[in-house]
Each structure stands twice: as C-alpha cells, then as structure tokens.
Structure 1
C-alpha cells in the first residue's frame, strides 16, 4: 500500500492543465462495445479506474491501441462473451464501479450480459435498481445469483419504452441510453441525468449514428437504429479535478491558473467556491485564482448560516462537497455542508477534527464547519484515504497544515487523479510517494 509524505505550508505558483474527465471516460469507453468499427477517444486520463476498464475491454476481446499520450483506439469487432463467465472477469469487473456500464452495450448488441455486483468507493449505499429496472422495461430478463452476487441479463430483442427514472442517476441514465440506441422503436427516458458526462456520451453516440433528441435536458428521446459506426471523440476536462485545484490554491494561499477548463461545462462549481470567499476569475477559458491570505464565507441575505448542498445537475456535484468542506476550515465564518446522496461520505471529517479543524458532524449527511481563519492552522498527522474524493481532500488539508503528514492507501487517490504528486510538485508542493 503506497503512501504520500506531505510537507505542509508550501505555496503553489504557476499553471496546471486538468486531465480528461474520469466519469466521462468510463461511459464512453463502455460505449465502444456498441460497434464493430474503430472508435478513437482523446484526452483519456492515465488513472487506475480508467486503465482497469481499458484492460477489461481488452481481455474481453476488444482490440485496444494506445495511439499517443491520452489517445486510444478501440475496435470491439470480436468480443468473447465466454470470457464474461470466467472467474478472472468476475474478479476484475467486481473491483470497479464503472464496469456496470458494460451491461447496456452488451445487452443491446449481443442480447446477453453478465456482471457481478460492482465495487468502488465505500461511501454508502449505491443501488443498481435504476439501471436494471429501466433495462427490464426495454425487454430484458434479469436473474440475480445471491450466493455469487452475480447479475445475468438476457433479451432476444429490446423494444423502446417510456421510462420514468426514480432517480436522476448518471450511470443509470448512461446504461439505459446505450441500451436504447439499438432497441427497436422509440425510447423516452424522463428524469434523466443531464450532467455534462451524459451530454458528451449522447453526442458521441449521435456521431456514431444514433438518433437522440433532448441532449442536455432531463428528457431524452431515442429512436433505435440497427447498428452504429465508429467515430472520434474528445473528453472534456475533469470538473472535479478543476474544483480540487481551486481548493488547493485557496488552502495554500497560492496563485494558480487552471488552463483550458471548459468553463461553460462547470455549472455552479466556480460560484460555490466564491460563496466561501475565494476569488475565482475567468480569463478566456482559463480560471485564475490569485493568492489570498484569508477569505470569508458568505451568509444568506437574511443573515442565516450558509448551506452548501449537492443536487442533480445543474446543481452542485456531490463529488466536490468533501473539497468544499476542507476549504471551509480555513475560512472566516460558518457553513453547513449537506451531503444528501451518500450517507458515509462525511465520515472522513474525524481526521480533520484530529488535525484541529472545528467541525460538528450533525448526522451522516450534515456537517457544520466553523472556519478558524488565520487564527489557527491544521496540524500534520498520519491518516488513511477512505475513497477518491476524501483522499484528495485530505491531501489538500495536509498541504496547508503545519508540519508533516502521511496519507496511506493513496491508490484511492490514484484511481481518480493522474500523477497528482508530480504535477503539484512542479508547482511548488513537497509531496513524496513511498
């Protein structure tokens, strides 16, 4: 198990370019299974979750070529469905959450799909009902082997249907969308997730020959086609990494320019940091964060304590609440962080409390942060990363802390952040990987 040794108190200065979007990459890589033709994907991040999915597709029989840094060619002309019944496939796909999105493409193209209950972050219950209920409405039969924790789906033919999702699940919408593009007739997905990831997936599918209306909205209309062709697709920059960099700059009183941020796809992320008092300037398609020694949290107009909560897009993505919580510990003022979606995602705050942060964990979903401003600095300590987003938040805390910190289990951070130690060290950080 690798670790980071972080010397706190180092300011950053310079420019950094965000990696390609992790969540988008997982969706569009699975979509390459929908066609026999070549699909080229650019700006692919070099991170564990994405690399593991690419390796899984290769093991399934897809021809995968790395064209250059960040660009891959996929050709799923010959897929070995027998391999999906093997122990090796079960172990590899169970280890990553993104593997659930191979179900829609395999079922649509081959009429069968097998997938174990997927793993991923331990951040609370992440049910699969949205995925499977929708796919069954299209005509699939589902069998669950409880002993083996194995889902088997089959369908002689998928037929378009009206589907009202019980939650605006991003991966659930993506899975249904990929199944519906090859289904017979018209499918309407209402209460669909409309995150930029889903919008990007939709545009990629259209470039492959799919017929999709309502892209970017919560009502998608899909007219099924008989086959899809190849295409070339470029991933957006990762909005979560961009938010993480804003948080790092604020916590370390750094001057940072985040290049090529695709600002139109960031939604209210920059504004959420501004509400904590952080200056975030737009310069073309770059974000500039000037050096700030202190920042003050806004209150609501009536003077009541600010609340920052996650919500379906265009609301605030839940993946950045951990970062915003850490950033608030250094601010002047108070804020209530309300994590609505996952009941275990705030449990990492005990480590921040041990570092000296003033945080009241109200319940599994809410934490009140009392910002100490310049009156107090976090203290370095040894801790373990529980998941990707808590891991990067602890790294941000350690970078701003007084003294040396150690973070164990940094494989969790590597799952979502590409060469994060090298990239930050180039800007002035002191992070050693052991």
Structure 2
C-alpha cells in the first residue's frame, strides 16, 4: 500500500504550481463519451483516480492518445458495450468513485448505461439517488440489482424535463447535465450545483455544440441538440491542492508562492484561511504566503467562537475541512469545525490527538480545536491515511512535527495529489517513499 517517512520540523521555501483539478477531470474526461469526435484535454493531473478513469475509457473502446505529460486526446467512435458486461469492467469501475460519471454520457448518446456500485473514500454515506432520479425524470428506466450491486439505466429516447434536485450534488448535477445535452426538448435543473467544476463542464459542452444557459447559477436550462462535436479544454488548477498548500505554509512557518491559482475560481477559500489568521498576498495570479511564527483565529462579531463549516458553492468546499482542522491545531485561539456533508470524515482526529493536538470530537460532524499557538509542537507518530483529504492533512501535521513520522496507506494520498512527495521535497521537505 506504500508508506511515507516524514522528517518534520523544517520550514519550506519556494514556488509550487498546483496540478489540474481532480474533480473537474473526472467530469470532463467522462464527457468525451458524448461525441465520436476528437476531444483534447490539457492540464490533466497524473493521479491514480484520473489515470484509472482514462484506462477504463480505453478498455471501453475510446481511442486515447497521450500528447504530453498532461495532455490527452480522446475519440469515442467505437464504444464496446460488450466490455461493459464483463467481470473486468465490474472490477475496474467499482474501484473508482468517479466511474459513475460515465453513466450520463452513455445514456444520452447510446440510450443505455451500466455501472457497478462505485468505490472511493470511506467518509460516510455517498448516495447516488440524485443521479438516477434525474435520469428517470428524463425518461430513463432505472434498475438496481442488489445481489450483483449493479446499476442499469435505459431509454429509447430521453426527453427534457423540469427537475428540482433533492440536493445540490456536484457529480449528480454534472451527470444529469451530460444526459440532458442530447435529450429531446428543454431540461431545467433547479438547485443545481454551481461549483467551478460544473461551470467548466458546461463551458466545454457549449463549445462542443450544447446549449446550456445559466452557467454559474443554481438554475440551469439545457436545450437538447442532436449531436456534439469535438473541442479543446484545459482544466482549472486544483482548488483543494491550493488550499492544502496554504495550510502547509502556515503549519510549517514556510514562505511559499503558489503559482497560477486562477484566483477568481477559489471563491471563499482564501478569506476562510485569513479568518484563521493566515496572511497572504495576491501577486498577479499567484498567492504569496509569508513565513509566520503565529497566526490567530478570528471570532464572530459578538466574540463567540468561530465556526468553519462546509456548504454548497459558493460556500466552503467540504474537501478542505480536514486541512482547516489540522492548521487550527497550531493557531492561537479556538474554532469549531462543522463537517455537515459526511459523517465519517472527522474520525481521523484521533491521530492528531495522538500527536498532542487539543481536539474535542463533539459528534461525527463537529470538532472543536483549541490551538497551541506553536507553544507545543505536534509529536511524530505512526499513522495510516484513511482517505485522500485526511491523508494530506496528516502529511501536513507530520511535516510540522519535530521528528520522524510514518504514514501508511499512502495510495489514498496518491489518488488525489500528483507526486506530492517530490514536489514538496523540492521546497525543502524531507519525505521518502517506502513499500
């Protein structure tokens, strides 16, 4: 499963460029199934989840060509539906949470889609009802074989419909958008997710010939078209990685410049870190974080304890709450971290408590952090990464600790962060990879 050996306690310095956005990649790469024409996508991160999806598409019959280290072309002329009925497809697709994103494009273009129950992080319930309820409203018939854990959707013809989503699911919205692009008539999606990832998907589809309006809002209108063409698309920088680097700089007293961050697409993220007392400057499209010995958590106007909580965009992404939590352990002051979406995502705090952090886990969704103000350093320890985001939070904790820590199960980190050990070592970190 792989191990990181981390020698912490040393400040880092230098420039780092964020990878392409993982969550966007899983959506737009799946969208190539909507057309037989060539689609070129650049700034693709070389991470496990994305490479697994590309490999899955290749096995499905999509012609995939690597142009350079981060650019691929895709041509879905000859999709092999026989492969979708094989045991190999079940194995490959079930190991990847993002595999659910191929169902909408397959249903839209070919009238049928198959998918085993997808895998991914074990962070709590991640229901798929929004996806399939949306497909049903477009006219598809849905079946779930509980014995085989296999989903099937079929439709002779998809027809546009009005729908009010039961939750503003990012992947659910994206999947329904892709299904609706080739449907007959007009589809209206209210309570749609409007994250930059979804906006990017819509912009890409519009360049391919789709007719999607309301992009960037929670009310999308999609006029179905008969076919889509090819296009070129570049992924945004990964906002989760950018937030991780901001937190890393604060925890390790490091002077770091994060290059080419696409600042307008970061939303509330920078200001949320500023409320923890972290200083930063916008220099062009770069974020400069100076070395800080101390950072103090803000309070609400009435003096009550600050709460940092996740919310649908333009609220704070839940993928960064693990980072906020670990950064708060060395701040001055206290903060309540409220993870509303996933009931198992805060369970990694026991590892931080072992390292000497002062954290009270109030319930599965809330944790109160009492910062040390760097008066007491975290202790090195041996731990295991439970999921992508908690794994990086633990890596940041290990880099701030005095001594050598060991992190097992780093495949979870590799799923979302490209060569994170090599890139941080270039800034002065001491991370070695073992078996």
TM range (shorter): over 0.9
Look up the match of 1:246.
Answer: 246
Partners in 2 of 1:143 and 1:261 — Cα distance? Answer: 42
Does the alignment pair 1:401 with 2:388? no
The Cα shift of 1:69 comes to 1.3
Partners in 2 of 1:343 and 1:184 — Cα distance? Answer: 39
> How do 1:109-128 residues align onto structure 2 when only pairs under 5 Å count?
109-128=109-128
Does the alignment pair 1:411 with 2:406? no
Look up the match of 1:348.
Answer: 348
Which contiguous aligned blocks of 4+ residues in structure 1 show a shift greater than 3 angstroms? none
The Cα shift of 1:272 comes to 0.6
Partners in 2 of 1:332 and 1:141 — Cα distance? Answer: 55
Residues 163-182 of structure 1 deviation map (CA, whole Å, 9 limit, x = unaligned): 10000000000000000000
Look up the match of 1:24.
Answer: 24
Instruction: Name the TM-score, length of structure 1 as normaliser.
Output: 1.00
Does the alignment pair 1:313 with 2:313? yes
- Root mean square deviation of aligned Cα: 0.4
Equivalent residue of 2:226, what SS? coil
Residues 318-365 of structure 1 deviation map (CA, whole Å, 9 limit, x = unaligned): 000000000000000000000000000000000000000000000000
Does the alignment pair 1:218 with 2:218? yes
Unaligned stretches of 5+ residues in structure 1 = none
Partners in 2 of 1:318 and 1:374 — Cα distance? Answer: 26
The Cα shift of 1:375 comes to 1.5
> How do 1:185-224 residues align onto structure 2 when only pairs under 5 Å count?
185-224=185-224
The Cα shift of 1:312 comes to 0.2
Partners in 1 of 2:219 and 2:181 — Cα distance? Answer: 15
Equivalent residue of 1:345, what SS? coil
Equivalent residue of 1:52, what SS? helix
Equivalent residue of 1:121, what SS? coil
Look up the match of 2:166.
Answer: 166
Partners in 1 of 2:178 and 2:342 — Cα distance? Answer: 26
The Cα shift of 1:106 comes to 0.2
Residues 264-304 of structure 1 deviation map (CA, whole Å, 9 limit, x = unaligned): 00000000110000002111100000000111000111100
Equivalent residue of 1:277, what SS? coil
Partners in 1 of 2:333 and 2:249 — Cα distance? Answer: 19
Partners in 2 of 1:97 and 1:216 — Cα distance? Answer: 25
Partners in 2 of 1:81 and 1:211 — Cα distance? Answer: 28
Equivalent residue of 1:222, what SS? strand
Partners in 1 of 2:10 and 2:163 — Cα distance? Answer: 52
The Cα shift of 1:10 comes to 1.4
Equivalent residue of 1:372, what SS? coil
Equivalent residue of 1:361, what SS? strand
Equivalent residue of 1:198, what SS? helix
Equivalent residue of 1:332, what SS? coil
Look up the match of 1:325.
Answer: 325
Unaligned stretches of 5+ residues in structure 2 = none
Partners in 2 of 1:257 and 1:215 — Cα distance? Answer: 31
Equivalent residue of 1:53, what SS? helix
Look up the match of 2:227.
Answer: 227
Look up the match of 2:368.
Answer: 368
Work out the number of aligned pairs and report it.
Answer: 434
Partners in 2 of 1:38 and 1:374 — Cα distance? Answer: 53
> How do 1:7-406 residues align onto structure 2 when only pairs under 5 Å count?
7-406=7-406
The Cα shift of 1:374 comes to 2.2
Partners in 1 of 2:12 and 2:230 — Cα distance? Answer: 42
Partners in 1 of 2:176 and 2:101 — Cα distance? Answer: 9
